[in-house]
Structure 1
């Protein structure tokens, strides 16, 4: 089924299911465009006309074919030609006095939805043509810009490379997302343990353990009122107090509490310093790797769908 629409005096084709491309036939030279006199065509006019067609998503580059169809005697000494111009596309010059086909390509192979056809010769109105001359322009909108199997395979190979690159990027974003979460978790845990183990209460407990050591030893050895079980319990307590360490183990030489970097040593402190510098730079606008990972996975899906569409579009050229 074909439906026609008119825009600025131009007739364009809307093709629905069952047809691959819209095709328009445009009058260039005919009695409707010229003044018929004495079996001649004179004072031909080619005012600028705009042509439009609906466009759809494409996975491969497209081209719009402009082919002149000449019938009758169109001999003339003048170099008559027209031009087609579309946004983002190189101007297509059409020397329409002979059967010729030129291509109009959108930027990056994008579909052409509209173009302006106009005269590109100063001699059009001067030329006198035989009355049998009839020139039309066939416009085949947005055909796949492929001529053979090798070109079709090359396009699929390029899409496969895009999918591979996007998949690798998504994997990298997933790793960074997990690293970001793991670092935040482990840093929080380490700081929490450090604070809990170096607070004032723990420091007082360490000092008390050191001070009570001799008293516990004396009680275990000399107190005759203790049973064997009580002596063993005190011995286990005395033996376990050493794990608390000394208060100095958790302090800098100036008496301030040691940081996580102090505990981990110089090598680890350098790594932590670099990580903290990165975090400090990102404080105002930290990257959300979860969001970046989601965007990367969506891009992989988009490219996979692009390949599915490309396979449909390239089917006539594939083995």
Structure 2
């Protein structure tokens, strides 16, 4: 027995906590039980239609099921006996078992096979006659790893690793989107509170007074002459004038009351204050941060996170299943 065959048998028996066992089904096709013994001959043979069942188990790699003919005694005959093997959901395979020692069956996308219909598809079975020493059976070796070389095994591992990488990127992107949605709402609330503080009645009154007094402040700051009789402690120094200049220019950053109110006198919102171009961007971002959208992001993220776990588990299982080809 080859290393791959031995390992495959041990692997299947260990998968799913021992629930899956290496399995071979033996089907008797030519024997005294299937034919009528007459004068040292086996005649009028019959192969009944039957459904064969294989064990289901987890697999991360493609599978194939091999049907091998087992023959003993003198089974010489001129008739091409044949059975048809049809996996559930798959295509039929005709197997002329006297002339072919084996045939390989694969399910759709080389998935695990758990059911095969075996049917006699030769019109010559009742006519054929054999020496009574003839015994023919079909051995169905279920679900072997469908790999023949190390490069094939390595390609499977690379594909599964790429799938993990892709799913991880999708999960991380959804996590970033969810974080952005949460952060946008936080920043929106923060900016609204900050804007509310900037537009209180006191702040609006300060803006109005700063506009009314700005010219006076500028005049004082740049005038060199000072009224006669000013006490020495009240005389403006050059440092005082520098501070007054700074205050004058800084008052400009407050803006005027009209910057924060609409033509009807009502207070602008943050969106109104930032302008029409900003409104388009704000509305787009806000649309991606509603409770319903966040719930959708959360559900998508959770599904993506589970997909990463499943992909990694599949990769880990594949490494175990393909170890005979990957290990020198």
Structure 2 length-normalised TM: 0.75
Given candidates 227, 250, 253, the residue that maps to 2:260 is 250
CA distance in 2, matches of 1:142, 1:207: 85
Given candidates 297, 301, 316, the residue that maps to 2:309 is 301
Shift of 1:77: 3.3
Shift of 1:307: 1.9
Question: Superposed, which structure 2 residues align to 1:54-65 within 5 Å?
Answer: 54-65=55-66
CA distance in 2, matches of 1:195, 1:28: 89
Structure 2 unpaired stretches of 5+: 1-11, 218-225, 228-232, 235-239
Question: Superposed, which structure 2 residues align to 1:18-167 within 5 Å?
Answer: 21-167=22-168
Q: Are positions 1:268 and 2:278 aligned together?
A: yes
Shift of 1:129: 2.7
CA distance in 2, matches of 1:244, 1:291: 45
Shift of 1:316: 1.5
Q: Which deviates further from its counterpart, 137-146 or 201-210?
A: 201-210
RMSD of aligned C-alpha atoms? 3.6
CA distance in 1, matches of 2:184, 2:142: 55
User: Is the partner of 1:116 in helix, strand or coil?
Assistant: strand
CA distance in 1, matches of 2:315, 2:111: 16
Residues 24-48 of structure 1 show CA distances to partners (whole Å, capped at 9, x for unaligned) of 2210111101111122222211112
Change (3 A) 1:102 1:317: same
Q: Which deviates further from its counterpart, 82-91 or 195-204?
A: 195-204
Q: Which deviates further from its counterpart, 182-191 or 123-132?
A: 123-132
Q: How many aligned positions are there?
A: 294
Given candidates 290, 294, 300, the residue that maps to 1:292 is 300
CA distance in 2, matches of 1:198, 1:244: 10
CA contact (8 A) 2:13 2:22 kept: no
CA contact (8 A) 2:181 2:294 kept: no
Shift of 1:206: 5.0
- The answer to which structure has the higher helix fraction is 2
CA distance in 2, matches of 1:209, 1:129: 117
Shift of 1:149: 1.1
CA distance in 1, matches of 2:297, 2:45: 65
Counterpart of 1:11?
none
User: Is the partner of 1:190 in helix, strand or coil?
Assistant: helix
Structure 1 unpaired stretches of 5+: 1-14, 223-227
